[in-house]
Amino acid sequence: MVEYFKTKEQPFIIEIIDEKFDNISTMLTDNAAVYGSSLTSIISGLPANGDLDIAVSHIEFIELCTNFANSSKWKQISGNII
């Protein structure tokens, strides 16, 4: 059986995402995954337009919410306060 490992073939993707989304990579938990139309655009060589979605386990959810709540660059506009 062949085993495949995830690699970052284009390390500049994180830099582009951080620039557009106010250093979001510093707030993500260790096992968080990002996806969305911005990421698709960057991979396609287009400008980073669109949204960025975050998938995280229920175990790391509170940590992720706390990271965003403690950041002065991100403010909550709707929903419950963690």
- Per domain, the residue ranges of the chain are 12-69
- Please report the pLDDT score of residue 49 as a whole number: 87
- Please report the pLDDT score of residue 10 as a whole number: 57
pTM over 0.75, yes/no: no
- Please report the pLDDT score of residue 27 as a whole number: 92
- Please report the pLDDT score of residue 6 as a whole number: 53
CB 54 within 8 A of CB 36: no
Averaged over 17-28, what is the pLDDT? 90
73 pLDDT above the threshold of 90: no
Residue type, 57: S
4 pLDDT above the threshold of 70: no
Structure tokens at 79: 């929903």
Average pLDDT over the chain, rounded to an integer: 83
